[in-house]
Each structure stands twice: as C-alpha cells, then as structure tokens.
Amino acid sequence: MPDRNALDNARRLRPAVLALGSNLGDRGELLRAAVDALRATGGIEVRAVSPVVESVALKLDGADASAPRYLNAVVLVDTLLTPAELLAEAHRIEAEHGRVREERWGDRTLDIDIVDYDGLESADPELTLPHPRAAERAFVLAPWLAVDPDAAVPGVGRVDALLAAIGDDTVRAEGVEL
C-alpha cells in the first residue's frame, strides 16, 4: 500500500519563480501571451506577475548594446508539476511562440527560465536550481523584488541585497502591462 503522506506531499502545490524575456518580435505581446499560456496550463496557478522591465541583451561575451533590447518579467506560480514537468511546459510555451534553439545566448522571441522551485537546490545539467546566473542578473532580480520583497535565491542570499550589490541597470517598460 502506498504511503499516504508521500502521495499527499507529491500532490501539494509548490511555489516556483519563472523569469520571462523577449527581444524579438512584439516583445510585450509575447510576454502577455506567455503569461496567458501559463494561466491556461493545468497544474499551474499564477500568483503574481511583476512589472515589465527593459534590459540590454546579454550574449556569451557579455552585454551587447547592438542587439535588440529585452523586455523581462517575473511570474510567481504555485504548481502541482514536478520541476521537469514545469520545464517541459515552459519549453512548450516557448516553442508555441516561435522560440528556436539555434544559438546559445542568442536573440529569442521568448525565454522562460525556472529561477526557483520551492527552494530546491539541484546540480542536474538539464535543470540547475536555483537558476545558476539569477543572482547576477538585475533583469531577474529587479522584477522579482517588485512582486516579493522578501524573496531570496536559495543558497545565495536575499534578492534585495543581491540587487543592491550588482546595481539595477533595468528600466521600467512604460505602457507594457501583463
């Protein structure tokens, strides 16, 4: 007979933090569509959506002012999905909105990263948690802080302190609401 407590624990809603970004196409509409797709996905409840910020594109060699700028947002969700299932849904939504994976760190119509999943720490190469570069990216930290002033990157530190340490180079995207 299965352990009832293990079954209940497996089915409980778990908090997760998703970072969204777009620098190709109608960036604001793509972010809106991504949030709508998350809301429509079984096993995901959208709890909060941050204000949208704009940031310079990051490439493998660093900031690229010549590339199209990104619009970024953070979405707080509660989910019944496992981390792998949540990642699969994020990839599905990206693909439905024109995401192609040809160049690592390349321009993209839509990017959805799992930044945190219930405080889980994992070095799995398919899904490292927390996101390995979240603590270094103002375009993740600033919108996350806007929707959760007490947020922390597991094993790293409080989002407010991390953002203060690196500086906030994002700009609020006027007229873009999700």
Residues pairing with 129 in the sheet: 122
Pick the catalytic residue from 113, 116, 137, 148. 113
Q: What are phi and psi of 158, to 5 degrees?
A: -70, 140
Dist. CA 52–CA 71, nearest whole Å? 6
In the set 14, 99, 116, 137, the catalytic residue is 99
113 is catalytic: yes
Give yes or no: 108 in active site. Answer: yes
Instruction: Write down the catalytic residue from 14, 111, 116, 137.
Output: 111
Q: Are 52 and 73 in contact (CB under 8 A)?
A: yes
Maximum separation of any 2 CA atoms in the chain, in Å:
61
Are the CB atoms for 169 and 138 separated by under 8 Å? yes
Task: Give the active site residue among 14, 27, 108, 137.
Answer: 108
So which residues are the catalytic ones?
A: 99, 108, 111, 113
